[in-house]
Amino acid sequence: MRPVLPPPETKKTILDRVIENVSPERGMRRMRARAVLALAGQWNGARKDRRGIKNWATLTGSADADMLFDLPALRERSRDLTRNNPLALGAVNTVTTSAVGTGLSLNVQPELSVLGWSEDQAAEWAQRVESEFRAWAGNPRACDASKTQDFYSMQALAFRSAMESGDLFALLPMVSEKHSVYGTRIHLIEADRVSNSKNATDTDTLAGGVEMDRYGAPVNYHIMRSHPGGLSREPSEWDVVPAFGAKSGRRNVVHLFDRHRPGQSRGFPYLAPVIEHLKQLSQYTEAEIAAAVVAGMFTVFVKTEGGNGLDIGADNQAAPGSDIKLGNGAIIDLSGGEDISTADPGRPNTAFDPFVQAILRQVGVALEIPFELLIKHFTASYSAARAALLEAWRFFKIKRAWLAGQFCQPVYEAWFEEAVALGRIDAPGFFDDPYLRSAYLGTEWIGDAPGQIDPYKEIQAARARIDADLSNHAIETMALHGLSWDQTHRGLAKEREIQIADGTLQPVQPINDAIAAGETP
């Protein structure tokens, strides 16, 4: 433990004494300021005189000031890595596949105590809402403005785009068409299209295309009508889209990004902290591959005393300077004074794999992906592999909750508002009482299960937790399979009814009937 240092001694100068006699208050402030200056440099990381860090130049800026200028370059390089670097693409794919998978499914959870409903009433109402939402979310023509993807595949696209570019925007326009009773649509907007109108300078209330109030809440989004790097070369035009409807308060824009600092208006790419490491590692790998290819060609250099090139001689009829190639088992005579030497690039390099693994361990720490999962290679014990997967799933669950809270839930709420307004869902007081509104909108978004290394051990552990009253069937079913226990139980009950009707399963006799019949239950 570092000892507590005594207060620094500050000697008074003649000027200090004069000022103190004239104005004791000013003299006190002067001595206090000198004491503060004397304390500077108590943290080694802040000192300016240490050799290792004295040339370390830093800046003090806000979240947007530190990021927005570099953001376009970060996006471009992040996308280039995911196109051409296997490790970068693998990292993004791993997080997207694990956090999103086949898409997060809606599980409606209304607040019974607020609404005054019974369990049966809530279950019936939730089933109705989920059925309506599935019909809309599962139809690309109903939910996607581009009529290309359903809501579940759009989740993966939105997540991946936010990872690569730093953020993603989704407009929620109302489009009336015959094939759907709902007008709510989702229109995904890539991050590049959101910028200040007419390329205006960033300010505290307009930064990166996001117009904010004095609290930092979004008011308007400035969106280009076409991608700045698109095929069209027409002059850029912007639309200013309100974040919320002026009268209805309906959300018009969903902004999916991960905020790391207060006041941050835009997000930065997931790979941003490791862009340089991954690029240099890619260049190093390409150099090693090229050296290995050269080594595999077994290049031979011919040395002559006269410097006139190869002179095979009259028997082989080869003129000086001819292109002589090596063949399988071929023997070529050299003239007097000629000799050969081979190039030995020393490949394959035995230090290549340990060095790459050392770099990837640092990359994995920054990306919160364990090394084994980053390279998809598990050679450790069961306990070590399970620990790596558990650590990874802590990160994946956070990213899943991020997607659910910032994308899935806002889209669902916009759809729900229209469903109530159309009278397809009964929700009395939804538009009048914010407390009731919140009770109706209670949800749980369920994704794919992580899978098990040893399914039998996982099931035994789940059973033990339930028997010890540390968990319940709903929690364990979701953890093991990523499914709702209610749906699983209803499906199992239906299967048993069919088996009993077919005679392939004997009905279970109730315990009370067995006791009444004198049998041991």
Domain ranges (residues) in the chain: 1-38, 274-368
Residues of the chain where predicted confidence (pLDDT) is lower than 70 = 1-11, 36-41, 297-337, 340-346, 452-454, 478-484, 508-521
Q: What does the block give as tokens for 36?
A: 């503060």
Distance CA(7)–CA(299), nearest Å, equals 72
Token pair recorded at residue 62: 């806000």
Question: Is the peptide bond prior to 348 cis by the omega test (within 30 degrees of 0)?
Answer: yes
Residue length of the chain: 521
pLDDT number for residue 316: 47
Q: Rounded to whole angstroms, what are the CA distances from 349 to 40, 292, 371, 386, 425?
A: 49, 8, 22, 32, 67
Angle (nearest 5°) at CA 402 between 400 and 405: 110
Amino acid at 175: V
pLDDT tens for each residue of 163-200: 999 999 999 999 988 888 999 999 999 999 999 999 99
Using CA atoms, how far apart are residues 414 and 441, in angstroms rounded to an integer?
Answer: 11
For residue 199, what pLDDT is reported?
Answer: 92
- Rounded CA gap, 176 and 470, in Å? 50
Residue 414 CB neighbour total at 10 angstroms: 20
CA dist., res. 104 & res. 411, Å (int): 13
Name the percent of the chain in helix, strand, coil, to the closest 5: 50, 10, 40
Question: pLDDT, tens digit, for every residue of 2-22?
Answer: 545 555 556 677 777 777 777
pLDDT at 332: 59
Residue 171 parent element (H or E): strand 167-171
CB 125 within 8 A of CB 419: no
- Which residues sit opposite 301 in a β-bridge? 341
Short-list 211, 221, 120, 134, CA closest to 170: 221
pLDDT of residue 307: 54
b/e map of 143-165 (b: 16 or more CB within 10 Å)?
A: bbeeeebbbbebbbebbbbbbbb
Q: What angle do CA 502, 503, 509 make, to 5 degrees?
A: 125
The rounded distance, in Å, linking the Cα atoms of 350 and 49 is 41
pLDDT digits (tens, 9 = 90+) for 107-147: 999 999 999 999 999 999 999 999 999 999 999 999 999 99
pLDDT for 29 equals 81
The answer to pTM > 0.85 is no
What does 294-343 look like in DSSP terms, one character per residue? HHHHT-EEEEESS------BTTTTB-TT------TT------TTEEEEE-
| CB atoms inside a 10 Å sphere around CB 211 | 20
Cβ-in-10-Å burial (0-12, 13-18, 19+) of 403 comes to buried
CB 222 within 8 A of CB 194: yes
Locus of tokens 């292109």: 323
Torsion from C-alpha of 436, 438, 439, 440, nearest 10 degrees: 90
pLDDT for 252 equals 96
Positive or negative, the CA dihedral 343, 349, 350, 351 is positive
